[in-house]
Amino acid sequence: MARVTAETVDHVARLAHLSLTEEERETFARQLDQILQYVESIQSLDTADVPPMSHALATGGFRPDVPGKSLEPERALDEAPDPAEGLFRVPRIIGG
């Protein structure tokens, strides 16, 4: 039973700003469906007493509130395709 349809793939592709060929669309639908089925095997376990886990580590460390060095301005914009006036430039965003 297919859970991932071509429509689902279209939706996800649109959110991810990807354009797919017809062939890719079908391949990904099939592959994503297989992955889901594989992962679904975990549903056969009884997890009633297992709290949900969001991360492999229980907790992490903290950083003190002490300012450090930021990038040199020219370094920050080094890889930017279209910098000007110290800014990253992007196509104009209408009504943003």
Question: What does the DSSP 8-state code read for residue 41?
Answer: G
Shortest spacing between CB 27 and other proteins, in angstroms: 21
76 binds other proteins (CB under 8 A): yes
Asked if 81 touches other proteins (CB under 8 A), the answer is no
Applying CB under 8 A, among 1, 41, 47, 60 the residue interacting with other proteins is 60
Give the SS3 label for residue 84: strand
48 contacts other proteins (rule: CB under 8 A): no
Of the pair 44, 55, the CB lying nearest other proteins is at 55
Phi, psi (5° rounding) for residue 22?
-55, -40
Q: How far is the CB of 57 from other proteins (least distance, A)?
A: 4
Binds other proteins by CB under 8 A, chosen from 17, 19, 44, 50: 17
d(CA 27, CA 42): 24
Is the distance from CB of 24 to CB of 6 less than 8 angstroms? no
Q: Which amino acid is at 92?
A: R
